[in-house]
Amino acid sequence: MAIATLDRAASLNPWRQRALAEKALIGFGFLALALLLPPWPGALLVSLAICAFTFFGARVPLRLWLTTAALPLGFLASGALMLVVEIGAGGVALAPGGLVPAAELAGRAMAATFCLIFLAMTTPMADLFGGLRRLRVPGELVELALLTYRFVFLIADEAAAMTAAQRARLGHSSRRLWLRSTAMVIASLLPRALARARRMETGLAARGWHGEMRVLSTRLPACGRRLALVVAVQLAVVLAVLAVVGLG
């Protein structure tokens, strides 16, 4: 899953036009619940709620969502497995009392992952940076983040182009050649990136840049009713969890 694909999906999502505050309340609000509520049944309810917003609200295509979620969920599963099993003198065995904490941790992490995926699929990085600026995060930090973000794409492009060029000259035809070629890409990526940064400095200076990256951003007003609806759903989740925990 390339980061560019993710960003493209986000900028084409129907909820792209929604106010950042609404999406942040959903994404970060449920994230907080996933981390704070007892994992049973908190993680389950949070996952259900955030998936409802993702699929029925923002209409994220299921296939795209699955390809995005596959990697983090894979990590999660293998991580949880490590907690469950124990390798000792007698070979591989279930860790005593490992099952419940592992399940709780995995559930919590999964719910949190779904929340972040919701944000990633509805909000291009661009909008997030705009939001940070409005929240009065120091300008230098936002600019640094923005330039880093731009550079990730430039360097990724550069690396992709170099790799393609090597492949065209059979640089990847065996494992040894692959290793050598990849080492070469990594070695020349830094000088290239630096040369690029220097050219970019010239380019921005030509546009009158003197240290501050100011751009006009469009602001979308948040809708009070939708915010209230989100808060209501979140309250319902909290109450349901409390009820279940109280009963048990």
Partner 1 sequence: MTAILSAEDLRYAYPGEGPALCSLSLQIETGRKLAILGPNGAGKSTLLLHLNGSLRPQQGRVLLGHQPGDYSRRGLSQWRSRVALVLQDADDQIFAATVAEDVSFGPLNQGLAEQVVRARVQSALTALGIADLAGRPPHLLSGGQKKRVAIAGAVAMEPEILLLDEPTAGLDREGADQLIAVLRQLGQRGMTLVFSTHDIELAQTLADDVALFQGGTVLAQGGAEAILTDAALLARAGLRPPMLVDLWLMAQARGMCPAAGPMPRSSEALLALLFAETPPARCAV
30 binds partner 1 (CB under 8 A): no
8 binds partner 1 (CB under 8 A): yes
- Nearest approach in angstroms of CB 18 to partner 1 is 14
Can you say how many angstroms the Cα of residue 196 is from the centroid of all Cα atoms in its chain? Answer: 27
206 to each of 108, 139, 196, 202, 235, how far by Cα in Å?
A: 49, 21, 15, 6, 52
Instruction: Closer to partner 1 by CB, 10 or 46: give it.
Output: 10
41 binds partner 1 (CB under 8 A): no
124 binds partner 1 (CB under 8 A): yes
Across the chain, the runs of DSSP E, i.e. the strands, are: 85-88, 91-94
Only one of the segments 18-26, 59-67, 163-171, 208-216 lies at the binding site for partner 1 (rule: CB under 8 A); that segment is 208-216
Distance CA(171)–CA(184), nearest Å, equals 10
Only one of the segments 45-53, 144-152, 161-169, 231-239 lies at the binding site for partner 1 (rule: CB under 8 A); that segment is 144-152
Distance CA(23)–CA(16), nearest Å, equals 9
Only one of the segments 105-113, 186-194, 212-220, 239-247 lies at the binding site for partner 1 (rule: CB under 8 A); that segment is 212-220
Distance CA(213)–CA(226), nearest Å, equals 33
Indicate the angle between helix axes 20-36 and 125-134, nearest 10 degrees: 90
Instruction: Closer to partner 1 by CB, 29 or 131: give it.
Output: 131
Only one of the segments 48-56, 69-77, 92-100, 194-202 lies at the binding site for partner 1 (rule: CB under 8 A); that segment is 194-202
* Residue 1 structure tokens: 């899953």
Residues of this chain that bind partner 1 (CB under 8 A)? 4, 7-8, 11, 124-127, 129-130, 146-147, 150, 153-154, 196, 199-200, 202-210, 213-218
